[in-house]
Structure 1
Amino acid sequence: MESATSILFEIGKYTVKPIKRQVSYLFHLNTIFNDLRKAKEELVLIQAMVQERVERARMNTEVTEKNVHEWLTNVNQVVADMHTLGNKIEENKKSCNDQFPNWIGRYKLSKEATQMTMTMRKLHLEGNFTQVAHRAPTPGIEIFLSSDFEMFESRRLAFQQIMEALCDNNSYRIGVYGMGGVGKTTLVKEVFKKAKESNLFNDIVMATVSLTPDIGRIQGEIADQLNLKLDEESSSARANRICLRIKSVEKILIILDDVWKDVELEVIGIPYRDDHKGCKILLTTRSDHVCTLMDCGRKIPLNFLSEKESLGLIKKFACIVDDYPPLNDVVLKVVKECKGLPIAIVTVGKALARKPLTEWKVALKQLKESRLMDIEGVDEEKNVYVCLKWSYNRLKRKTRFCFLLCSLFPEDYDISIEELTRYVMGLDEFGTINCLEEVRNEVRVTINKLIDSCLLLESNRETHVKMHDMVRDVALWIASGGDNEFKLRVCTRLEKNENFDSMTAISLMTSNTEKLTSKLSCPRLKILLLGRNELGLSEVSETLFAEMNVLKVLSLRLKVLSPESFDSFTNLRSLYLSHCIFTNIYSLGKLKRLEILSLYHCRMDALPNELGELQNLRLLDLMRCECDQQKPIPPGLLQRLSLLEQLYIVKDNFKDWDDANRCNVNLSELSSLSRLIVLSLHLSMKRIPEGFVFPDLQRYDISINSFYGYHIFTGRQIPEYPNSRILRIIKFDASSPNAFKLLFSNVEYLLIDSCGMEYLIDITGGNHAVMFSNLVKLSLQNLSCLRTICQGPDHQLTFSNLTVLELNYCRLLTKLLSPVVAQSLRKLENLKLSNCNALKQIISKEDRMLLHSQNQHISLPKLRFLEIVGCNQLEYIFPITVAQSVPLLETLIMRKLPKLKQVFGHEDEGEVGDGNDVILSQLRWLILQDLPDFGSLYQGTCSSMWPSLEALKVVNCPEMKSSFAADLEANMRALGKKLKVLHVESGLCDLVLLLLTQGLLNLEDLGINNCEELEEMFKPEGFLSQGNHQEQLLLSRLTVSRFEVSVNECNKMTCLFPVTIADGLLRLRRVEIKGASQFVEVFAQKDGRDGQIRKDVILPKLKYLRFTQLPCLVNLCPRNYHFTLPSLYRLELDVLTCPDITGCFTRTLDDVVHVNGEIDEKEELACKAHNDSHSKTLNNDNASFCITIGHYRLHLFGEQRLE
């Protein structure tokens, strides 16, 4: 009983309390609702506090925390729900009285109010937030990106190169460089946008470095964009924090804009690439050199806009939409003045936006006069002048001076570095310098710096540079300000009543003025450049120079110059006279301070003896100078010029030195010029005086009996003023080679032609300097007596810098190089031997085995081009041991070598290869022609691999079928992908057909020669047939832009293509067929249907057709076929050997040629009546198509006739 009571008590304890709560819902509604009101008041109070904190954070551009935002939403919702509940309670009270209450309604409302009170109290507790918001991540540069960016074609390439580099896992640092204002920042911002859209990186940040990097500011920019708070005070601690943050990102791109010098990225906090391979750096700079200093693996230049792009850009910013021809003409001229520089185009475009034609005309005139700053509306703080002046200010003093000096040359002018050097020397702005060569080196350094800074442009000639017109305008603007440190005030045109008192430089090189008859008062003038246009000045007043007492540099082009003109030039240091005509120039002897005298292309009676009085003269330039007298240079004159360092004498009437009949200057005078280090000399003589030796020179271009002015190897124009060491010797006495022994020690380019020497150099008996160690290119031509390169021990002979070696018609030469000398050819790139009939060994056998026993091998690691032609005794080219040592060989040409058996062979038993396959990984061209004994590339069983081969030509090599077959099969897969040119004959046709079945995707040129058994190449089904081979040929898979076919001496072939595959020959460009006695049609119907259904075929790229020795040839295509040839340019037919040719060739008005299979007798092509005819030619020059038959020209197309 007691236990039962206990159990009931426990049950009651757990049931009474809930029952009591449920009952209270019926009787305490007002109390419960009052508790709810109190909870709501407390919650609203804390809600206001939180909301105030959120508003303050929002004003600081902070982002509300997600849980705070959700809390506020929940609070608003519960407060709104309470108002709804209060309304329901009021309605409940109104709907009942005290005697009959709505118990169910009261119960529900009380229970809902209780639960709402609990929710409010919970929200109250949750509202005590420690942080309601956080700093918003910086959006990077997105908000600054212009939606107006246009991807010009000139920018597309650079953009693509940058994106490719960003996707390249091996590219970590990419540099974009270009002139200030060319658009580098705009481009990398677009790269930022594209990379962001493509999700190439997890994070992308961009910071501006500027001329003087502020490390703290740069760190701040990077940290803000990474949402990183930097509390550390020291720069190193901040760098560590940034580095940790960057390393936490798997892939990140950091763009550094406007970099001027080498910046230590670790100081900023950017990790080195080995520490974080997912971090890439993209930087912009005005200097190529900065890209190098910053270790950029990819350097991408950004150049100027094209004229079309420039026109579109200026119209956009000038808001030009109407097509108004007068305005458009002026706008185009303005664009041309801006020379494709975007910042100049934008500056001018904005300034002239919506302006009338007259203002455009005024602006054009101001631009032509280099006065952009005078244009109304140009922002004085943001324009091309200010932008480029930043670059100028960054330069060192000497570089700034050369920059301003370059502005004296006309627009679009090829500035000669040699000429610039002479002006610098004359102006004496480089301080104390011992010799001209030092000045030249200093100028070269400054020029390179200006090119690196994109303030100068490279010219097509390596000895010249160019200056962008807008950059030139900036330089003139800087100089005209008068506040530059050089006090250089420049005048480039003469204005009426202009005061020249302050001018220090006047350049009228392109002035249209032909006469200067009045005196110019220029008391401060230091440099004067006059009359460099084609005509020059026709007349100059004798008093013109009277008040130029401090003039140091004068450049003058005149038709006639009076001797009295030089009287006032007492301070002149550099005188450059061009194309002048003198009666007498004895007064030049009065210019005691003159150091540089150039008489380029001038004409006179003779050099005056008075020139010997110029004791300070360091440079004498008589290049292309003409003298009328028999003694152009008086004997003894040169040796009086004891300080002479550079001498240039190149002209026919200066060439006959030591001619007894003319008593001209003696070469021995050169020996007395102890300071002479640069010599340009053109001589015509059979021998050099006994005992004479050319002095030791640093630079020279000496030509003996040689046509001066063309490169000895390329035929291109060479610089008139030598920048290297060149020696040409032609038709010269064999007894005089030792006259050049000092030059042989440093010569770089050497040509010897038609000389009777037996050896090139004699080093027997006595000590000699190492010969030819600086030689870069050696050409030996027509040396019929040459037996060896070196007479004597060759250990002092080295070709360690030789890149090109050419020998031609050296008929007695049996051995070219000893193994010791061959070992020195580590830089040889090009070897060409031709018509050396006695040559048996290129590398002699002697000492080869000794090298082999010492484990030394001859290696040609740089050899790229090898051509051997007409050397009748050669059985192999190199020893087999060299086969593995030509890794860069790209071109191998062997022609007309009757005894050649292998390219790499051996004669001694101990001299064998290693037995491994030889891999010529870079070989692209392999040409083997007229080699009757040639068996293979290598002796032995090893195969050769050519994975990069693009051209294969094998002609008249009857002995190489079996061995070469193995090589072809070994290379089959590679050839299918790479081969572009394929020419073979006779026994190799089977292999060619096998190659074709592989699908030569890049084949451009196919030639088949002398394959007598070949009946057809392509079957109607698109199959290729020869013997038992029947494999599908996929011509439609060709990826090249052209396809050419030639067939010669294939007498069983009846057609070239089945007409069923004609539609697939979209890239066919050229067809030549010769010597096929059964050939009927180019395209033939092979299925027997005989063209029952008319078919149209277009060959869109076919330009050239040639047919000869085809007695059965009837037509291009079968009956009922119509071929359209829109690109046909030339059709050649040999009438005598193609007597049955018929067909209808017509031309439409749009110059498209059509060929029909139907035969129309009235338009028959044969023209058999002309028995003396030799050829028929169809020419399309957009004016006429015609047939040429002997001396007759007959029109081929219907009613239109030609005479």
Structure 2
Amino acid sequence: MRLKVFILVHGCVYRIPALSLTNSLQPLKDIRTLILANLELGDISVIGNLLSLRTLWFYGCPINELPRKVLKLKKLGSLEVEECKITKNNPFNVIESCSKLEELTFVHNECDNEEKDAISQNRLALTLHRYCISSENLSSYFEKYGAMSRCFQIDNESSHLVLDATFKQLIRRAELLILEGDDVQRIWKNLIPEMMNGLIVLHLNSCPNIECLIDTKAHDFGVIAFANLAELHLSKVRVQDLCCDPPPSEFLEKLGIMKLKECHSLRSILSNGNYNLCHLKSMQLEDCPLLTLVFQPSATRSLKQLEELTMRSCNALKYMIMGEDGDSSRKSYYDSLFPKLKMLQIAKCNKLRIILPILFVGGLASLEKLSICECQQLEYIFDKLQEEEDAMLPSLREVQLFRVPSFIGVFEEHQPLSSSSLQKPSPPLSRHNPNKIKQSLATHAFSWIQAYCSLNKSGHANGETNIVVSEHRPVDHTIPLVCYICFTIFVQMSL
């Protein structure tokens, strides 16, 4: 029986002369699969004599170049090159000339960058069924989302390797797409021309030519785009909005993670049309200095799965939510907001005066941590509080307020909806007398609301205020835990 598969693997880099490899492979003209790992190969031109070869895999093998003799392998359908050092010539000059190639893995390789313009013109755009082309290891994404058959990551160091036609072909069908760099010749102002419906993960980093994620002006009504996108990362791009016009069908409906960082032209997020963000679990906004509003009402109502929300260095931000006309105090609108939100972190948003317009009983029922740091104009957490007998924020375990010099209290207006069974609060405590606060709270079981109601009633602090709240169970066990959480509040002031 003739040998069909040949695997040669060494546990570490092992030098063998090219002549030895030639002698070893010469009799194996009928092999269909060749796997070579952790070997210092150098010249591999002998592979061109293995005319029956269908699968070729190099792993951790320094080679001189991918030789043109590979083009003689008319049956080669699968090529994998991982963690190899290729000392000369552009390997894609050969790869893109392999007309029968259907599967390509080219990951975490070190290629010669001295000949960036040396691209052969006798090449055709690759048409691949499966591909993973990246200068980075993408295993973390595979662990999160499972196997993805079409992955493409490219940056300034590797963008010269492929033809423009191949570049666009790979983007068009990608499931995981990471674009990094300022290659303005290739990256469009928006990504709608390719209708990337198979896309699951999208990273755009330092792509100054992109003005919006999607623009539907030139396309028919009812077009579908980004319908399967689960993770979106934008960093250092010039987007003003994610969608410039009414959104296409199913737009971002499966999105679970959104991270927008250093988007200095971003003014709004999904401001046109109605959006369904029912799968969004984590959202992070950082260094978006022109952003004034986070959520439109239409999108806010769909955020049933949101668990983590972080906003940092958004100095123009005035509102987290914009209420609809007639909804400013409608219970059915606000008590269903963010039902699964566990962590809310806000830092360096200096124009933010109020976090949320109103809190009804039952609202933010899953919130465990609230952290607000260095928000210079923050006065209240809620504009209004409407309180009933049930517990307010029953899951809250940690509150941090740090450097909020304008802070007055938790809410500006208190509207009791019924007679409350809560323990009657003690007289207001002045935050200018920290010892009195500490002594009083050490002997009384306050709800977090009562504790903060009594804080800051004597006016604004002139100095730095640092308030850290941690949970302790009530001493009086007759007080329901869901209604009362006793806190220790530390107030430090620089007068």
Q: TM-score, normalised by structure 2?
A: 0.70
Q: Is the 8 A contact 2:315 2:351 kept in 1?
A: yes
**Larger helix percent:** 1
Tell me how far 1:754 sits from its aligned partner. 2.8
Match of 1:614 among 98, 105, 111: 98
> Which fold has the larger relative contact order, with Cα–Cα distance below 8 Å and residues 6 or more apart in sequence?
2
Q: How many residues align?
A: 420
CA distance in 2, matches of 1:675, 1:731: 17
Give the partner amino acid of 2:196.
D
Q: Residue by residue, what CA displacement relative to the aligned partner does 1:775-821 show, whole Å, maximum 9, x if unpaired?
A: 2221222233321112522x1x2221111111122222221111210
| Secondary structure of 1:919 counterpart | coil
- 1:637-656 superposed matches below 5 A: 637=123, 639=125, 641-650=126-135, 655-656=155-156
Amino acid at match of 2:103: L
SS across alignment from 1:589:
helix
Question: Do the aligned residues in 1 keep the contact of 2:359 with 2:386 (CA within 8 Å)?
Answer: yes
Q: Residue 201 of structure 2 aligns with which residue?
A: 725
Q: Deviations over 1:648-673 (max 9, x none)?
A: 0427x9744999xx7x7453434456
Tell me how far 1:926 sits from its aligned partner. 1.5
What whole-Å deviation, never above 9, does each CA across 1:717-765 have from its counterpart, x for those lacking one?
Answer: xxxxxxx51313335235364389987443322222233332222124x
Aligned counterpart, 1:852:
330
Choose which of 10, 17, 22 in structure 2 pairs with 1:531: 10
- Output one character per residue of 1:226-256: Cα deviation in whole Å (capped at 9) or x when no partner: xxxxxxxxxxxxxxxxxxxxxxxxxxxxxxx
- Deviation per CA, 1:624-645: give whole Å up to 9, x if none: 3303422465456351x33443
| Cα distance change of structure 1 residues 967 and 893 upon mapping to structure 2, 3 Å threshold | farther
- CA change 1:731–1:686 in 2 (3 A) is same
- Secondary structure of the residue aligned to 1:845 is coil
Q: Tell me, yes or no, if the aligned pair for 1:858 and 1:881 is still in contact at 8 Å.
A: no
Aligned residue identity for 2:208: F
Give the drift of 1:528.
1.2
In structure 2, what is the equivalent of residue 969 of structure 1? 444
Query: Of residues 288, 291, 295 in structure 2, which corresponds to 1:810?
Result: 288
Question: CA separation of 1:866/1:931 partners in 2, compared to 1, >3 Å: closer, same or farther?
Answer: same
Task: Provide the C-alpha distance between the structure 2 equivalents of 1:835 and 1:529, rounded to a whole number of angstroms.
Answer: 54
Q: Summarize the Cα distance change of 1:882–1:528 in structure 2 as closer, same or farther, 3 Å threshold.
A: farther
- Report if aligned partners of 2:231, 2:255 keep a CA contact under 8 Å in 1: yes
Measured at CA, do residues 957 and 733 of structure 1 come closer, stay the same or move farther in structure 2, by a change above 3 Å?
Answer: farther
- Separation of aligned partners in 1, 2:260 and 2:266: 9
Q: 1:726 to 1:691 in 2, by over 3 A?
A: closer
Question: Which of 701, 720, 738 does residue 214 from structure 2 map onto?
Answer: 738
Q: Which residue of 1 aligns with 2:255?
A: 775
Residues 374 and 403 of structure 2 are in contact (CA less than 8 Å); yes or no, is this contact kept in structure 1?
yes
Task: Determine the structure 2 residue equivalent to 1:575.
Answer: 56
1:916–1:957 Cα change, 3 Å: same
CA deviations 1:963-1013 (Å, max 9, x no partner) are x9799934489xxxxxxxxxxxx9x9xxx9xx99969xxxxxx996659xx
| Distance change >3 Å, CA 559–CA 848, structure 1 → 2 | farther
**1:565-611: per-residue Cα shift (whole Å, max 9, x none)?**
21443333322113321245112112222222122233131126443
Instruction: Indicate conservation of the 8 Å contact 1:636/1:665, yes or no.
Output: no
In the aligned structure 2, how far is the partner of 1:855 from the partner of 1:735?
33
* Aligned residue number for residue 551 of structure 1: 32
From the superposition, tell whether residues 882 and 967 of structure 1 become closer, same or farther in structure 2 (CA, over 3 Å): farther
Map 1:770-919 to 2 at 5 A: 770-793=250-273, 795=274, 797-847=275-325, 849=327, 852=330, 857-881=335-359, 884-906=362-384, 913-919=386-392
Following superposition, the deviation at residue 896 of structure 1 comes to 2.2
Distance in 2 separating the partners of 1:848 and 1:783: 33
Change (3 A) 1:768 1:698: closer
Aligned-partner Cα distance in 2 for 1:738–1:810: 19
- Secondary structure of 1:531's counterpart equals strand
Deviation sequence 1:1034-1084 (CA, Å, 0-9, x none): xxxxxxxxxxxxxx99xxxxxxxxxxxxxxxxxxxxxxxxxxxxxxxxxxx
Counterpart of 1:928 in structure 2 is 401
In 2 relative to 1, CA 799–751 (structure 1 residues): closer, same or farther, beyond 3 Å?
same
Q: Which amino acid aligns with 1:602?
A: K
- 1:629 maps to 2:109: no
Q: Distance in 2 between matches of 1:884 and 1:739?
A: 39
* Cα separation, 1, equivalents of 2:366 and 2:353: 23
Aligned amino acid, residue 931 of structure 1: V
1:830–1:864 Cα contact (<8 Å) kept:
yes
Report what 2:149 is aligned to.
none
1:940 equivalent to 2:418? Answer no
In 2, Cα distance between equivalents of 1:735 and 1:811: 16
- Whether contact under 8 Å (2:32, 2:55) holds in the other structure is no
Cα deviation code 1:54-91 (max 9, x no counterpart): xxxxxxxxxxxxxxxxxxxxxxxxxxxxxxxxxxxxxx
> Structure 1 pair 874/966, CA: closer, same or farther in 2 (3 Å)?
farther
Q: CA separation of 1:779/1:897 partners in 2, compared to 1, >3 Å: closer, same or farther?
A: same
C-alpha spacing 1:636/1:813, structure 2 compared with 1 (3 Å): farther
Relative to 1, partners in 2 of residues 1:825 and 1:968: Cα closer, same or farther, differing over 3 Å? Answer: farther
Give the whole-Å Cα distance in 2 for the aligned partners of 1:895 and 1:844.
22
Native 8 Å contact 1:571 1:593 kept in 2: yes
Q: 1:1008 to 1:816 in 2, by over 3 A?
A: closer
Over the matched positions of the two proteins, sequence identity in percent amounts to 19
Classify 1:1008/1:934 alpha carbon distance in 2 versus 1 (closer, same or farther; 3 Å).
Answer: closer
* 2:296–2:322 contact (8 Å) kept in structure 1: yes
Q: Contact 2:190–2:215 at 8 Å: present in 1 too? A: yes
Structure 2 CA distance, aligned partners of 1:596 and 1:658?
21
Larger Rg computed on CA atoms? 1
Does the C-alpha gap of structure 1 residues 786 and 676 become closer, same or farther in structure 2, counting only changes over 3 Å? Answer: closer
Consecutive unaligned residues of structure 1, counting only runs of 5 or more, are: 1-500, 502-522, 700-723, 907-911, 946-955, 974-985, 1000-1005, 1012-1047, 1050-1203
- With over 3 angstroms needed to count, the CA separation of the structure-2 counterparts of 1:957 and 1:760, relative to structure 1, is farther
Which residue in 2 is equivalent to 1:602?
Answer: 85
Aligned-residue offset at 1:924: 2.1
For the structure 1 residues 897 and 937, does the alpha-carbon distance in structure 2 shift closer, same or farther, using more than 3 Å as the test? same
**SS at the partner of 1:789?**
coil
1:684 Cα deviation from its structure 2 partner: 2.1
Gaps of 5+ in 2: 137-152, 217-222, 423-429, 449-462, 477-487
Q: Which residue of 2 aligns with 1:506?
A: none
Does structure 2 retain, via aligned residues, the 8 Å contact 1:859–1:885? yes
1:886 partner amino acid: L
Name 2:242's counterpart in structure 1: 760
- Asked whether the 8 Å contact 1:725–1:747 carries over to 2, the reply is yes
Cα shift readout 1:828-867 (whole Å, capped 9, x = no counterpart): 1111112222222111023461893876754212111111
- SS of equivalent to 2:12: coil
**Offset at 1:561?**
3.6
Work out the CA distance in 1 between the residues paired with 2:361 and 2:242.
Answer: 29
* Match of residue 147 from structure 2: none
What's the counterpart of residue 198 of structure 2? Answer: 698
In the alignment, the residues of structure 1 paired with residue 213 and residue 163 of structure 2 have an alpha-carbon distance, to the nearest angstrom, of 19
Q: 1:665 to 1:546 in 2, by over 3 A?
A: closer
Alignment of 1:238-253 (within 5 A): none
The 3-state SS of whatever aligns with 2:288 is coil
Structure 1 length-normalised TM: 0.31
Distance 2:243 2:195 in 1: 17
CA–CA separation in structure 2 for the residues paired with 1:686 and 1:642: 22
Is the Cα contact below 8 Å between 2:178 and 2:204 reproduced in 1?
A: no
1:302-317 counterparts in 2 under 5 A? none
Matched, 1:589 2:68: no
- Contact 1:875/1:902 (CA < 8 Å) preserved in 2? yes
Q: Secondary structure at the match of 2:90?
A: coil
Q: How does 1:92-111 map to 2 (within 5 A)?
A: none
Helix, strand or coil for the counterpart of 1:542? Answer: helix
Which residue is 1:685 aligned to?
182
* Cα distance in structure 1, aligned partners of 2:263 and 2:383: 28
Residue 269 of structure 2 aligns to a residue whose secondary structure is strand
